[in-house]
Amino acid sequence: MAFGKDDGNKNRLQGTLSQRAAYARKQDSGRREGGGGKGKQYWMDNFHPSETPDTIRCIYGEYPVQEIDESSGDLMESTLPYFPIIEHYHGGLKKGALCSAGPYHMNKLKRSPCEGCDMFWQDYEERAQKSRELGQKVQNPKRISKSNKFVLTILDPGDFFETEQLDRTGQVKLNAQGKPWMNWRKLRYPNDPAAVGRQIKQGMVQPWSLNRTHFDLLQAYSDSNIGMCCSGCGTWGHAMSPMLQTLSYNCQNCRTKVIDMKTSTLAPNQIKEIINHPVQCQSCGTRNFVEEVIHCPSCQQKGTTAKRASLWDVDIQVQITKSIDDPNKQTLIINGYTAPMAISPQFVDIAKPLDLPAIFKPTPIEEQRLLWGIAQTQAAPHAQPYSRP
């Protein structure tokens, strides 16, 4: 399956990163069910920003997901330019796995089996019971976490060298024959002794898994900064000097104006609420996100078509900073971005969206039990509803 742009895919919700992210946040995006296999782990060869700035390019994809329609509660097929996942991490065992509960992961009556979810809700209910009995909030038990994450495909044009894979504990990962698994590590400085005698290549496409805080930051930065540029003419803009003017928001199917900015009396927050949800067009009946119609003075002069730039049109420079008090707490910093431009011809052949649904497929139940030491007879039932305090 290809994960590039699919302009003919009109039966699915189509929207900007901002629209799709806002909608997914409210109705809790799920993803396709699938089996997981052993071998290379989903968290290996991922991009991790360092404390030294990295210049990267986010690669647009069309990833199939199943989402819950907020109007009916039913599942619907959709596509996203990123891939949403849920990760369970056992703090005591220091081992993680991908949730297998599916899009109904918050509904224990409907969700698919998942040992991580079983432990998460068992602990939640036990904490709630203890809190009620003691009259104060209780922090434990809390064996396992449940975290929403969002995976992008990125191109890092730096140099990489091949070296042994390390597991989460820093030990060399061996295959069944006792030989080390290999991966590619970024060359941070030219004379790194770890790269001596190693194979080196330039440019690598990797998954970038972001937590909710970092993903929201990236999306907001794209809206308020990158979105001020025009990818139609390649003109750079920023929040204090935007290149584009919004004329209207139209139905994607029949182009009927849903909001005319010349005559609208809606407040900015009301407009935002409308454009971040699928709208039923009163003219043609199509339900989808509205499409922005914009004006660009530069495009008008050059005879090009105005188009608001997005995360997929520019190179960005990112890095992380670590908290002095807690080294595990990291803050994502976006230092800047280029004008909208094509990907360097040097990397066009490799700058393709990764098969993220295959890389980040749900961890099978049996593998979850092995990871967390759960015996078959101890497996919890999956059809009992949980109750909130």
Model pLDDT, residue 8: 45
Model pLDDT, residue 102: 93
Give the count of domains, the chain: 1
Question: Which residue stretches of the chain have pLDDT < 50?
Answer: 6-11, 29-38, 382-389
Model pLDDT, residue 13: 59
- Is residue 208 domain-resident? yes
- Is residue 283 domain-resident? no
Domain enclosing residue 115, as ranges:
17-244+296-378
- Is residue 12 domain-resident? no
- Is residue 302 domain-resident? yes
- Whole-model pTM? 0.82
- Is residue 221 domain-resident? yes
Model pLDDT, residue 9: 44
- Is residue 272 domain-resident? no
Model pLDDT, residue 64: 92
Model pLDDT, residue 23: 64
Q: Does the N-terminal peptide bond of residue 141 adopt cis geometry, omega within 30 degrees of 0?
A: yes
- Is residue 251 domain-resident? no
- Is residue 5 domain-resident? no
For the beta carbon of residue 255, count every other beta carbon within 10 angstroms.
Answer: 13
